[in-house]
């Protein structure tokens, strides 16, 4: 029996990270081809897209909510099991940042869900209100990305992982940081659909890295966790 069998926190974190990855990627797979990215620069077009594809919109939101909830739960389990996945003194910062990223993502989804009711009338005053709601939601997901990057950096620095995987986490954090910076380069003009897709693409390494870490934790536990106890 390994230490992971006695303390299954590592495997719980791994399972939740994988659920988060699959759910968020599933949501993105619905959003991108259907034109439901909901750019606040053109609220009327966003409301029309939701109005015409309300079923798809609600389905992708359900997957996104599941993804952010799983990420929040993973952060809480990580923070509550110091020393199992990461060095004890870094467990709370890493887990807390991850949970905060999940909560910010849920706020983003709350804004997108509010737009669903506004889409009943895609033009007129509703479009102006939707523009403000969507803009707030977009900055909410930008905050989630920033917190996720910080969690990645802390986890890569202190997790019980092979050196290559920790270095990959550092590079993923840099890519995620670039994704967070993209909206700040637009000034008062707002994000174009192309820049928005670029930001999502730059965030992919963070999600994939956590997916790899999650799989490792689920299957074998962390490097420290999977060691066999010494015989006396």
* Mean pLDDT, residues 92-101 taken together: 96
The predicted pLDDT at position 16 comes to: 96
CA 57, CA 63: separation in Å to the nearest integer? Answer: 10
- pLDDT band of residue 95 (cuts 50, 70, 90) is very high
* Mean pLDDT, residues 54-61 taken together: 93
Which pTM value belongs to this model? 0.87
Weakest-pLDDT range from 107-111, 161-165, 226-230: 226-230
Residue range 172-205, pLDDT digits in tens: 999 999 999 988 877 666 677 778 788 888 999 9
Using alpha carbons, list the distances in angstroms from residue 141 to 24, 70, 112. 12, 16, 11
pLDDT at 230 over 50: no
- For 179-203, letters b (16+ CB in 10 Å) and e give bbebbeeeeeebbeeebbeebbebb
Torsion angles phi and psi, residue 38, rounded to 5: 55, 65
- pLDDT band of residue 63 (cuts 50, 70, 90) is very high
What is the pLDDT of the chain when averaged over all its residues? 86
Looking at per-residue pLDDT, the higher value among 32 and 157 belongs to 157
- pLDDT band of residue 170 (cuts 50, 70, 90) is very high
The predicted pLDDT at position 58 comes to: 94
């Amino acid at each position: 029996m390994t230490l992971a069998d006695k303390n299954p926190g590592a495997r719980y974190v791994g399972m939740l990270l994988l659920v988060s990855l699959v759910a968020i990627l599933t949501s993105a797979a619905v959003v991108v081809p259907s034109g439901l990215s909901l750019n606040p620069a053109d609220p009327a077009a966003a409301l029309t897209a939701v109005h015409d594809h309300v079923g798809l919109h609600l389905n992708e939101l359900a997957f996104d909510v599941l993804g952010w909830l799983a990420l929040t739960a993973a952060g809480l389990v990580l923070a509550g099991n110091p020393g199992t996945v990461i060095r004890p003194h870094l467990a709370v910062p890493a887990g807390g940042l991850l949970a905060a990223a999940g909560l910010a993502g849920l706020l983003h989804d709350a804004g997108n869900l509010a737009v669903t009711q506004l889409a009943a009338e895609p033009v007129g005053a509703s479009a102006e209100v939707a523009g403000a709601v969507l803009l707030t939601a977009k900055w909410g997901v930008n905050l989630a990305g920033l917190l996720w990057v910080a969690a990645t950096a802390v986890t890569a620095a202190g997790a019980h992982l092979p050196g290559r995987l920790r270095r990959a986490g550092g590079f993923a954090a840099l890519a995620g940081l670039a994704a967070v910076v993209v909206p700040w380069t637009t000034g008062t003009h707002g994000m174009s659909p192309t820049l928005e897709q670029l930001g999502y693409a730059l965030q992919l390494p963070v999600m994939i890295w956590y997916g790899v870490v999650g799989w490792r934790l689920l299957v074998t536990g962390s490097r420290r966790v999977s060691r066999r106890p010494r015989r006396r």
